[in-house]
Structure 1
Amino acid sequence: MKSETVGSATLETWSVEEVEQAFAANEIVLIDVRTPQEYIFEHIEGALLMPMAFFKAEKLPGQTEKRIVLHCGSGIRSEKMARLAIDAGVTKIAHMDGGFGAWKTAKKPYIGTDMASGAPKRVG
């Protein structure tokens, strides 16, 4: 994990493996900031959706029990939303390096769409 001090806050960048392990251990809340359409088509099972267009940092849950890790498609939008959260007063936030694209490249499981039926299906 890489970390950067932004004022009095800490912005962390987690690897896919770190996110997978912490998510499996129920240590984090994983929040997808992609569009609803992207999420419906494919997403990490159990990840919550707070699209960038409607992102309200002040509505994020507290982090007393679980850390928050944001992710998007490539890591660009999630980093932008993490910085927005810091601007809103969140003192520690993380995002996943490489986003969902890196998750898929690492062959991690996710919910995709069966192109023949349009139904959701587990991949990986």
Structure 2
Amino acid sequence: MQVDQVDGKVLETWDAGEVHAAFEAGEVVIIDVRSPQEFMLEHIGGSLLMPMSSFEAAGLPGQGDKRIVLMCAGGVRSERMARVALDAGFDRIAHMGGGFGAWKAAKLPYLGTDFTTGATKQVR
């Protein structure tokens, strides 16, 4: 995990393996900031969608029991929205470096679309 100080607040960059381990342990909630279309085609099962186009830091869940990790396709949008959350009053927030591309490259499980049926399917 990479930790950066931003105006006295903490911005963490987690790799896909760290996010997966914490997610499996029930320690984090993953917020996907990609578009609804991207999310519909493939996403991490159990992740929540808050697209960058309508991102409202005030609408994020609290970080009492679970930490928030933002993610996007490559890590750029999630870092940008993490900085928005810090500007909105969060003291600490994390995002996934490399985004969904890093998740897939690490061969971690996700939900994709079966284009022959339109149904969701587990992908590993």
TM-score by length of 2: 0.98
Between the two proteins, the alignment pairs up a number of residues equal to: 124
Residue of structure 1 in register with 2:58 after alignment: 58
Structure 1 residue 118, shift from structure 2 partner: 1.4
The structural deviation recorded for 1:60 is: 1.1
In the alignment, which residue of structure 2 is the partner of 1:93? 93
Q: Which residue of 2 aligns with 1:119?
A: 119
Counterpart CA distance in 2 for 1:112 and 1:58 is 29
Give the equivalent residue in structure 2 for 1:6: 6
One-letter amino acid of the structure 2 residue matched with residue 81 of structure 1: M
> 2:106: which partner in 1?
106
CA RMSD across the alignment: 0.6
Query: Residue type matched to 2:88 in 1?
Result: A
1:90 CA drift (Å)? 0.5
In the TM superposition, residue 8 of structure 1 has moved relative to its aligned partner by 1.8
Question: Aligned partners of 1:17 and 1:93: how far apart in 2?
Answer: 17
Find the residue that maps to 1:116 and give its secondary structure. coil
Moved runs in structure 1, 4+ residues, more than 2 A?
none
Q: Which residue of 2 aligns with 1:35?
A: 35
Per-residue deviation, residues 18-72 of structure 1 (Å, max 9, x unmatched)? 0000000000010000000100100000000000001000111111111000000
Distance 1:62 1:30 in 2: 13
Aligned to 2:76: 76
- How far apart, in 2, do the equivalents of 1:121 and 1:62 lie? 30
Q: Which runs of 5+ in 1 are unaligned?
A: none
Identity score, percent = 60
| TM-score, normalised by the number of residues in structure 1 | 0.98
